[in-house]
Structure 1
Amino acid sequence: MHDTTHSPRLRVGSLFSGYGGLDLAVEHAFNAQTIWSSEINQPVAELFAHHWPDAPNLGDITAIDWNQVEPVDILIGGFPCQDVSTAGKKAGLKPGTRSGLWSHMAEAIDALQPEWVVIENVRGLLSATAIRLPTQGDNNEQCNPDLATPADATLRDLGPDPWHLADGAARPLRAMGAGMSPSWLC
């Protein structure tokens, strides 16, 4: 928990906002305030607006110009999980999939450079395949070697594992690096 006695409230930007469950948790944990959202499901967006009337809905994440959006300290989002869920089609993170909307969240992170990013998704994200379309200035070969992280890479190979997810059988970590800009991972 952050010290709230001497600092202003942190500002939260909410993507794939839904009814605001993740917003409530982050606001409580960080003593933060949601200042804008992005949600296209109209009935759900109306419910969100009822609880956060001062937070404008930026609408469709695929149409937002992030250079025109008020910066935030914390960017949160739970992008669609259907294509990375172990119960789903396992199509992965790639253009044309619902879970491929992650790339738009990655663009927001690149542009806004928040201090914190909170992502909510299913465990299958850890082993889903991923493809990131290169953007101008990207080194696609470096960011997408063979269009995904090699299958023989384990969590231990890629860094610390505070949740001990790699204690059992080796699991590939593909989707975790997809969509990251050169300044993040590459």
Structure 2
Amino acid sequence: MRKEQTTDEDRPLRVGSLFSGYGGLDLAVEHVFNAETVWFSEINEPVARVFSHHWPDAPNLGDITSINWHDVPPVDILCGGFPCQDVSTVGKRAGLAPGTRSGLWAQMATAIEILQPQFVVIENVRGLLSTKAIRSTPEGATPDARNPDDATGTDVTAALRGLEPDPWGLGDESARPLVAAGAVMRS
């Protein structure tokens, strides 16, 4: 009997999971994409144990702030729900900013940039559409220079118009505030 060769087209898409929790988003992504989760990142140990129970072969990469993305196996799909406490309408609305829990979005953006997955699936709360976002101050810049340019390029701005009905929320002019959804979509 001849052994069949497996090609890349035959294998399921590979999923990397960030801010994994117990794996609810991962279950949905696997189902929709006919994929398999190959690694995850979760710092809450009891929750990570639940995830590991359902995906025993997927290693936990641990704290997202200490991962070297150049050393991480590539994935076809990157999914995650970064912390929502600072963008939630029931929270203090600190925003998507450096130093906030929701500011961990920047770590996910770095993972996306380096890993270059085919698909990115992000889950978060509705407050992302109305909470402010603050760009980090580049080294040597003053806080006044934090948002000097348009928040989005023209192609992205046109695409976001359908998602964010309030043009002030896009931050596409320096006098307009950048909202968290605009910052996430721009990345």
TM-score bracket, shorter-length normalisation: 0.7 to 0.9
- Of the two, which has the highest radius of gyration? 2
Which whole-Å deviations, capped at 9, do the CAs of 1:11-47 have from their partners, x for residues lacking one?
A: 0000000000000000000000000000000000000
Q: Tell me what 1:76 maps to.
A: 79
Q: Tell me what 2:63 maps to.
A: 60
CA gap 1:94/1:108 in 2 versus in 1, 3 angstroms = same
Q: Tell me what 1:31 maps to.
A: 34
For 1:65 and 1:149, how far apart are their aligned partners in 2? 27
Q: Tell me what 1:103 maps to.
A: 106
CA-CA distance at 1:7 after TM superposition? 3.8
Aligned ranges 1:82-93 → 2 under 5 Å: 82-93=85-96
> Number of paired residues?
166
Structure 1 unmatched runs, 5+: 1-5, 137-143, 151-156
CA-CA distance at 1:160 after TM superposition? 3.7
Q: Pick from 144, 147, 170: which aligns with 1:145?
A: 147
Query: Which SS does the other structure have where 2:15 is aligned?
Result: strand
Match of 2:107, as an amino acid? H
Query: Which SS does the other structure have where 2:16 is aligned?
Result: strand
For 1:105 and 1:160, how far apart are their aligned partners in 2? 21
Q: Pick from 158, 169, 172: which aligns with 1:172?
A: 169
Match of 1:33, as an amino acid? E
Check if 1:114 corresponds to 2:117. Answer: yes
- Contact (CA 8 Å) 2:97, 2:134: kept in 1 or not? yes
For 2:137 and 2:36, how far apart are their aligned partners in 1? 33
Match of 1:176, as an amino acid? A
CA-CA distance at 1:133 after TM superposition? 2.7
- Contact (CA 8 Å) 1:130, 1:148: kept in 2 or not? no
CA gap 1:164/1:108 in 2 versus in 1, 3 angstroms = closer
CA gap 1:66/1:55 in 2 versus in 1, 3 angstroms = same
Alpha carbon RMSD of aligned pairs, Å? Answer: 3.1
CA-CA distance at 1:130 after TM superposition? 1.3
Q: Tell me what 2:46 maps to.
A: 43
Query: Which SS does the other structure have where 1:145 is aligned?
Result: coil
How does the TM-score come out when normalised to structure 1?
0.77
CA gap 1:74/1:40 in 2 versus in 1, 3 angstroms = same
More helix as a share of residues = 2
CA gap 1:177/1:164 in 2 versus in 1, 3 angstroms = closer
For 1:24 and 1:163, how far apart are their aligned partners in 2? 28
Instruction: Give percent identity, aligned residues only.
Output: 63
